[in-house]
Amino acid sequence: MTAPPETGFAGAIHNTRRAGLVVVQPRMGFAEPSAMRAGLVAVRDARATTVGTITLDSYTRVGDLHSARTAVRTRTRLNGYPLCTHPDDTTRSMLSEVYRPGFPIQIRHGSARPRHIIEAMARIGLDATEGGPVSYCLPYGRTPLRSAVNEWSAACDRLAEMSTPERPAHLESFGGCMLGQMCPPSLLVAIAVLEGLFFAQHRVPSISLSYAQQTQPEQDLEALAALRRLIGELLPDLDVHVVLYTYMGVFPRTRAGSSALLDESARIAVFGGAERLIVKTVMESVRIPDVADNVAAVERAEREVRCSQQMRAAGRHPWAPSESGLYEEARTMIDTVRSLDPDLGIALHIAFRRGLLDIPYCLHPDTQGRTRSRVGPDGRLEWAHVGSLPIDGPRPAGHAVGAQELTSMLNYVADRFDSTVAVR
Amino acid sequence: MTLRRLHVLVTGTSSDAHTWNLMYLQLALEEAGHEVTNLGPCVPDDLLTETCVRLRPDTLVISSVNGHGHTDAARAAAVVRHDPRHDAMPIIVGGLLGTAGNPNADHAPALRAAGVTAVLEKDDLPKLMRLLAETRAAAPAPATATATAAATAAAAATAATAAGRELEGAR
Ligand code: B12
């Protein structure tokens, strides 16, 4: 492995890893530069080991800069920061004194066609973002997968070009989340690793692979172990770390339930060996969280991380990872896709067309839509139909999921946390 | 009296990528006996208007949760209303329309001015069902045993794909 980077996003993660800490990060974005700055300052000063986030708004994401401009002009609230609409100098002064070596900042967006965003980052000097040809395409609209692959190839090349050995650009795969819920962990792990291999093919020097908390901690620990093992096997020469997302599906409606779910994710991060944790707030099911909500969430997560680290040091483990063959399933999918074409972009495209990769309940036309998943009786997320995936599993004839069943599965985690807290 | 099945066009807004809301609405409406065409997420205005002209749905349901719904749905309704052929078609909007967690009703005046018929809250699904039942009762009884050709074609297409997956015009 090459010498670890000293500065930028990658460098900061290295330093905290060396110190045995888990970096905690919000999902934060505000339209107004003053609010965005206030949020970054508050996260930097929070009682936690943090990095900053600028989440972009949905107009910027889909490339509708006209609507972003109109919203800024008419002071209409946006769901994120319009990076490509505010003049670069406005963003530079928003960042001045905040964005420094000790406090790296990541741009999170969700764009299948990200060139305008990467160019703005290059002009402003921002070095870290999130994305992927699959994970920023299939859950995020109707851009054809083929275009997203081309666009993300160019984006990765640009990130590689922006990099210097001292300050490598960093790219995180969103592959461990997909539609936020109901995607069995083996497939999440496979997509994250395949996107990591895609980034490596394009010489992005520093990457992270994600995994989102699902329905059962034992299964999540098995998934994180599989992800780490696959990174060791398939990406041994690259600077890679693992980032855990607090639950990305329908969130509990009570404060207590939301907090308990956040706590559980912090424990999973520690016992699963993630270097970074991206949190959610108690306002998740209600509205865009404000600065105070975000600070409360990172501080709470930090406390739980420290508690869990003490538990671990004392040899106490809350859960035993399950042993369901998750690694083997992920590995089979990865190997099958890699065998399709030496160019991973082409291989991914073929794989989705043939259903060798297929996300349950995904509406995107470039997937076959034959797979189905369910929350099993023991709370594990499992396959209900494996479609044409190259793995063993159920292929029942003619079971359609109804509205009631769908809602109860989507609300499984929210209900579990809201109700356990209520009885307490 | 036999009531004609309503053909409901369900759509996301131009900037909204969320799909679980659309899938849920499709299943719930189908189970209530309606025919549904699901346009999917991130629907640009011209795809929406073109689909309305082509399929002539009985009702348009716009769902948005990303917080831009109050502007995006207003714009979408205005472009649809631009065509007088859709004068009689109810446009019903719901989801999570703003970013501040306030009721959707706060956005109703602007949405109605743009041509929206009803603005519903996140948990107003029973009301949506009621409005559709009223529309259905008011709709002319089927002249023959069939609905419109377009609705029949859309229904066949929907039946041919896995539940909740028909993405009209996406390719
Ligand atoms: C899953 C999820 C995602 C997934 C979506 C995957 C997918 N393809 O669908 C991912 C992770 C990709 C995602 C991304 C984003 N998300 Co999101 N997401 C959620 C989450 C956690 C759950 C939504 C869900 O699936 N619900 C299940 C469905 C079945 O329920 P529903 O959507 O609420 O719809 C119900 C009702 O609203 C109602 N309803 C819906 N439409 C209509 C219409 C009518 C007429 C009626 C009567 C009823 C009705 O019926 C449905 C069934 O009950 C919510 C928060 C939460 N609720 O916990 C945030 C949330 C909706 N997301 C949010 C945001 C901002 C985003 C992003 C825009 C962030 C960003 N800035 O990039 C991105 C990008 C998406 C975009 N550009 O549009 C915000 C919206 C904020 C607001 N409105 O104030 C929320 C509330 C989170 C938050 N607090 O910040 N998201």
Residue A422 near chain B (CB below 8 Å): no
Distance CA A359, CA A410 (A): 15
Examine residue A326 and state whether it is found in any structural domain, yes or no.
Answer: no
> B64: closest CA among B124, B125, B106, B10?
B10
Examine residue A387 and state whether it is found in any structural domain, yes or no.
Answer: no
Distance CA A77, CA A195 (A): 33
Contact at 8 Å (CB) between A141 and A62?
A: yes
Question: A373: part of which helix (H) or strand (E)?
Answer: strand A372-375
Residue B38 forms beta bridges with which residues?
B10
**pLDDT-derived band of residue B147, with 50, 70 and 90 as boundaries?**
very low
Examine residue B2 and state whether it is found in any structural domain, yes or no.
Answer: no
Examine residue A411 and state whether it is found in any structural domain, yes or no.
Answer: no
User: Which residues are CB-contacts of A342 (< 8 A; sequence separation ≥ 6)?
Assistant: none
Distance CA A236, CA A233 (A): 6
Q: A107 by DSSP, 3-state: which? A: strand
Smallest CA–CA distance, residue A167 to chain B, in Å, is 33
Distance CA B72, CA B74 (A): 5
Examine residue A260 and state whether it is found in any structural domain, yes or no.
Answer: yes
Distance CA A189, CA A172 (A): 13
Tally the C-alpha atoms within 13 A of residue B131's C-alpha that lie toward its C-beta.
20
Give CA A145 to chain center in angstroms.
19
Tally the C-alpha atoms within 13 A of residue A357's C-alpha that lie toward its C-beta.
33
**Closest chain A residue to the Cα of B24, Cα to Cα:** A403
The CATH number that applies at residue A12 is 3.20.20.240
Neighbour order of strands in the sheet with B59-64: B35-38, B7-11, B59-64, B91-95, B118-119
User: Is residue A351 over pLDDT 80?
Assistant: yes
User: Which residues are CB-contacts of A123 (< 8 A; sequence separation ≥ 6)?
Assistant: A88
Q: A62 by DSSP, 3-state: which? A: helix
Residue ranges of A 144-203 with Cβ closer than 8 A to chain B: 179-181
Q: Quick count: other Cβ atoms within 10 Å of Cβ A65? A: 14
Give the predicted TM-score (pTM) of the model. 0.94
Number of independent structural domains in chain B: 1
pLDDT of residue B108: 98
Please name the residue whose Cα sits nearest to atom 30 of ligand 1. Answer: B21
Distance CA A103, CA A8 (A): 8
User: Is B128 near ligand 1, meaning CB less than 6 Å away?
Assistant: yes
Which tokens is B27 given? 């299943």
B82-130 pLDDT, tens digit per residue, is 999 999 999 999 999 999 999 999 999 999 999 999 999 999 999 999 9
Cβ contact, residue pair A407, B24, below 8 Å: yes
Contact at 8 Å (CB) between B104 and B62?
A: no
Distance CA B144, CA A79 (A): 48
Examine residue B67 and state whether it is found in any structural domain, yes or no.
Answer: yes
Give CA B51 to chain center in angstroms.
11
A324-343 pLDDT, tens digit per residue, is 999 999 999 999 999 999 99
Smallest CA–CA distance, residue B124 to chain A, in Å, is 15
Smallest CA–CA distance, residue A388 to chain B, in Å, is 14
pLDDT of residue A4: 59
Sign of CA dihedral A141, A147, A153, A156: negative
Which tokens is A50 given? 């943090």
| Residues of the domain holding B20 | 7-170
| Rounded mean pLDDT, A60-83 | 97
User: Is B146 near ligand 1, meaning CB less than 6 Å away?
Assistant: no
User: Is residue B154 over pLDDT 50?
Assistant: no
Helices (H), A205-290: 217-234, 255-272
How many helices and strands in chain B, by DSSP H and E?
6, 5
Distance CA B113, CA A115 (A): 37
Residue ranges of B 42-81 with Cβ closer than 8 A to chain A: 42-43, 66-68, 71-72
Which one of B21, B61, B65, B106 would you pick to mutate in the ligand 1 pocket, going by the greatest count of ligand atoms within 8 A of its CB?
A: B65
pLDDT of residue B157: 41
Cβ contact, residue pair B67, A139, below 8 Å: no
| Residue numbers in B near A363 (CB within 8 A) | 19, 22-23, 38, 40-41, 164-165, 167
Which tokens is A346 given? 């082409």
Q: Which residue has the tokens 């520690």?
A: A270
User: Is A82 near ligand 1, meaning CB less than 6 Å away?
Assistant: no
pLDDT of residue B155: 42
Output the CA–CA distances (angstroms, integers) from residue B148 to A53, A395, B6, B57, B152, in the order listed.
51, 36, 10, 9, 6
| Residues of the domain holding A38 | 8-313
| Rounded mean pLDDT, A387-397 | 96
Examine residue A328 and state whether it is found in any structural domain, yes or no.
Answer: no
The CATH number that applies at residue B83 is 3.40.50.280
User: Is residue B151 over pLDDT 90?
Assistant: no
How many beta-carbon pairs below 8 A join chains A and B? 104
| Residue numbers in A near B161 (CB within 8 A) | 369
Cβ contact, residue pair A62, B15, below 8 Å: yes
Examine residue B32 and state whether it is found in any structural domain, yes or no.
Answer: yes
User: Is residue A353 over pLDDT 90?
Assistant: yes
**pLDDT-derived band of residue B149, with 50, 70 and 90 as boundaries?**
very low
